[in-house]
Structures are given as C-alpha cells and as structure tokens.
Amino acid sequence: MKRLTLLLIGLLILTYSDATADTSKIISADELKKMMDSGKQFALVDTRTEEEFRQGHLPKAINIAPEKVADIAALLPKARGITLVFYCRGVG
C-alpha cells in the first residue's frame, strides 16, 4: 500500500461540469483518502501499464493506458458532477 501511496503523487482531477473550462486540479494522497472515506461518487483511473495494474492498484480503480486516455476521455458523456481521478507511477 505504501508503494501505491507514493504513486499518487501527481493526481489529477477532472470534473466534466463545463467542456470548455479547465477544472483540473492536483490533489494529495490525503485528499484522495478523504474523498474515498466520504463516499463521494468519483471514478478512479489508473494510467499505468496493464502489467503494473495487475501487480496492484487502488480499490475500484479502472486501468486505461496513458496513450488511450485522450481517446477515451473524448467518448465520456459530459455528465455534471462526475469527478475523474487519474493516477500514475509518477514522474520518471
């Protein structure tokens, strides 16, 4: 779990409340934990490789390869109030 916590550096939240507004925000591991504990609805997206995902991931996370994130994001409905939280292995 410590390893995954370190991977949370660089979390990105995208809220699809307005397609033209940049609503992205970097959050800490503590902020994500609070979101998870609060029961707030959000989708957790692991952008590491499939192999890394199989080795371990956060509960309820889905895996989308980094090169496919933009393609899949374009297909998402512009649902208000749906928060997407992305995480990866970090820089480097």
DSSP string, 13-81: EEETT-TTS---EEE-HHHHHHHHHHT--EEEEE-S-HHHHHH---TT-EE--GGGHHHHHHHS---TT
Q: Give the residue with greater pLDDT, 58 vs 83.
A: 58
The per-residue pLDDT for 13 is 35
pLDDT in tens, 24-36: 789 999 999 999 9
Q: Give the residue with greater pLDDT, 9 vs 50.
A: 50
Say whether pLDDT at 11 is over 80.
Answer: no
CA distance 6 to 14: 21
Q: Which domains, from first to last, does the chain contain? A: 2-87 (3.40.250)
User: How much is the mean pLDDT over the chain?
Assistant: 75
The per-residue pLDDT for 31 is 94
Single pTM value for the model: 0.66
